[in-house]
Amino acid sequence: MRTIVSDRLLLRPWQDDDADFLLDLESGSQIVVSSGAQPTTMKTRKDALASIRRLRAIEHPIYGNWAIATANGRLVGNLLLLPIPPWAEQSFSGSNDVEIGWHVHPDARGQGYATEAADAVLRDAFGRGLPRVLAVTEPDNHASQAVCRRLGMTALGRTTRYYDTINELFEKLPS
Ligand SMILES: CC(C)(COP(=O)(O)OP(=O)(O)OC[C@H]1O[C@@H](n2cnc3c(N)ncnc32)[C@H](O)[C@@H]1OP(=O)(O)O)[C@@H](O)C(=O)NCCC(=O)NCCS
């Protein structure tokens, strides 16, 4: 998986040494870092390591799941760009709908990192020919919807099309 840089951030592949951070980020959260396999709740360091190895195995010219680090190497979150499930495991051929998703550690929120990381990934993906990106947000996830708006995504309203539940959908097309 390639690295992507922005003014303040480096988006890079997950490494085994990141397991403690990933566990801290994801445990106790409903948000699960998925990679084409059936998502499972992350409870232990072993789960985090297994997730890291799945994420690192993603080999695709556009899609990915990156660790977000600051210039001094501090990890602050994760950023994913992947087809929306259900998709054929590891083949990424099961859906034409691609979503972007973000998770920033509570200690690092309120600094624009999610928006900056997502903006860098969107530019990179559109530059590589991706025609459309969606963001699927829970109706009461106003922080995530604010990120969508900062990114200039268009609100498409509520849908039950994804994840068997009601979501607020956002769309971004190349400019
Ligand atoms: C959604 C989530 C990533 C948003 O994080 P965030 O830090 O609020 O989002 P941003 O990176 O866009 O940061 C924007 C904030 O940083 C502030 N900021 C500070 N310095 C900044 C800078 N240099 N540049 C830009 N914004 C800056 C902005 O003013 C804004 O603050 P405000 O919310 O008080 O107005 C975070 O709440 C999260 O991880 N939630 C849990 C996971 C989740 O729900 N994921 C989405 C699933 S759909």
Give 9-39 pLDDT, tens digit per residue. 999 999 999 999 999 998 865 454 444 444 5
CB atoms within 10 A of CB 103: 19
118 Cα: distance to centroid of ligand 1 (angstroms): 11
Domain ranges of the chain: 4-172
Measure the CA–CA gap between 47 and 168, rounded to whole angstroms.
29
Which is nearest to 122 in space by CA: 133, 111, 109, 108? 133
In the chain, % of residues over pLDDT 90: 75
What topology does CATH give the domain 4-172? Answer: Aminopeptidase (3.40.630)
At residue 34, the pLDDT reads: 43
Q: Please, are residues 51 and 24 in contact by the beta-carbon 8 Å criterion?
A: no
Measure the CA–CA gap between 126 and 173, rounded to whole angstroms.
8
Instruction: Please state the rounded mean pLDDT for residues 124-131.
Output: 97
Atom from ligand 1 closest to the CA of residue 109: 7
7 Cα: distance to centroid of ligand 1 (angstroms): 16
- What residue owns the CA closest to ligand 1's atom 15? 110
pLDDT band with cut points at 50, 70 and 90 for residue 161? confident
| Tokens describing residue 60 | 């695709």
What values do phi and psi take at 109, rounded to 5? -80, 165
Instruction: Please state the rounded mean pLDDT for residues 153-160.
Output: 96
Give 73-119 pLDDT, tens digit per residue. 999 999 999 998 764 444 444 557 999 999 999 999 999 999 999 99
115 C-beta closer than 6 A to ligand 1: yes
115 Cα: distance to centroid of ligand 1 (angstroms): 7
141 Cα: distance to centroid of ligand 1 (angstroms): 12
